[in-house]
Chain A
Amino acid sequence: MSSFLSALFKKRSSAPVARDRLQILLAHERISGSDDKNDLITQLHREIMEVIKRYVAVDQDKVQIKLDRGAHCSMLEIDVEVPGLSNSKPASDKAATPGPAPEKKPASQDASAPAKK
């Protein structure tokens, strides 16, 4: 009964959620200090783009970069839409949608790697 009650209370109170979110966020912000963290991502992005451009012509908009900062490790997900690899599925060559975040296309390649903290 007491565990049931505590479970109920845990669901109700929002303060622990707030504490956990702040701890994760501040841990990342303190490490990054001034510009470092932001620059790491920006630099990584630039260099990855350079490498990709050596092989295929890619629009900057066709590269989606997602980040999920966790308590112990972060996930950096880079989704590159590579044109010309859709030979096996010729019908899947849809026109690019003008929406703010294009959905993943069949011809995209995922590269996920934990970001170094």
Chain B
Amino acid sequence: MSKVLVVTSGKGGVGKTTTSAALGAALAKAGEKVVLVDFDVGLRNLDLIMGAERRVVFDLINVIQGDASLNQALIKDKRVDTLYLLPASQTRDKDALTSEGVKKVINELRSKFDWVVCDSPAGIERGAQMAMYHADMAVIVTNPEVSSVRDSDRIIGMLDSTTERAKKGKKIDKHLLITRYDPQRAARGDMLATDDMLDILSIPLLGIIPESTDVLRASNLGAPVTLAEPESPPARAYIDAVRRLKGETVEMTVPSGRRTLLDWLFRRRVA
């Protein structure tokens, strides 16, 4: 059965788009048929992170308004066969995201894909509401930092009250993904502890993604970190998170970057 997964956070800049791309690509690499849907109308960036920015012809709004069919708007990834992207519109505003239109598109995507990954815009406005409305599962991307945790709490409240499942009295499967985790700051005691964040937000932990230049490098190259640098610590953390999403039990660790010089050279050459 197909799953609609929203990647959300409330706060901007915590890594929603990076996470959507990384999780989606890792799911697709594991053989699942995946579509990434960008809901950030007016400020799309998922196309850029996926390296598909030059190939966008039609977008979500074109499909909603009937100017293009879904098949015409879907962009097939050039690296993974089962991975597709539905870009957001760069020029329209968020009001073009009608409830009826989004519902129709999501239902059509459900029938074609195993996973529909919705990349939410920051904030709690219409775009974010539309991205989460049809979700069965939510990944709440949170940095170990006070304002991010506060905004995540707000988003969790919205997931439990304003979504379709909530209105039907059903629960959304919520998962906390901690990104930009800095082991050195954690060791010094200068970073919010994972246990405290879990305690405050009281949702299960999906994974801990270490802060890494590999993520920046991947976005420079226009590839999800799980494809660009699959052996890197953040990619390994994302791949573990995907296995947990699929129901596997995987020991929770924060992958570290300790590598030999030979590993390092070899990895760079391959990339």
| A interface residues, Cβ below 8 angstroms from B | 11-12, 14-15, 17-18, 21, 24-25, 29, 32, 34-35, 37-38, 41-42, 45-46, 60-61, 63-70, 98-102
Q: List 5 A-B contacts (CB under 8 A).
A: A34-B91, A38-B90, A66-B57, A68-B55, A100-B71
The verdict on A100 contacting B220 (CB below 8 Å), with A60-B72, A64-B72, A68-B54 known, is no
Contact B72 A63, beta carbon cutoff 8 Å = yes
CB distance from B42 to the nearest CB of A (A): 11
**How many residue pairs between the two chains, A and B, have CB atoms under 8 Å in the bound complex?**
81
The verdict on A67 contacting B217 (CB below 8 Å), with A21-B48, A45-B68, A101-B84 known, is no
Contact A67 B54, beta carbon cutoff 8 Å = yes
Contact B112 A98, beta carbon cutoff 8 Å = yes
Contact B91 A38, beta carbon cutoff 8 Å = yes
8 closest Cβ contacts across the A-B interface? A14-B220, A18-B220, A69-B54, A67-B57, A14-B217, A100-B74, A35-B91, A61-B69
| B interface residues, Cβ below 8 angstroms from A | 35, 48, 51, 53-59, 62, 67-72, 74, 76, 84, 89-92, 112-113, 216-217, 219-222, 268-269
Q: What are the residues of chain B within 8 A of A35 when measuring CB–CB?
A: 91-92
Kindly report which residue of chain A lies nearest to residue B76, judged by CB atoms: A101
Within 8 Å by CB of B221, from A17, A41, A98, lies A17
Contact B221 A102, beta carbon cutoff 8 Å = no
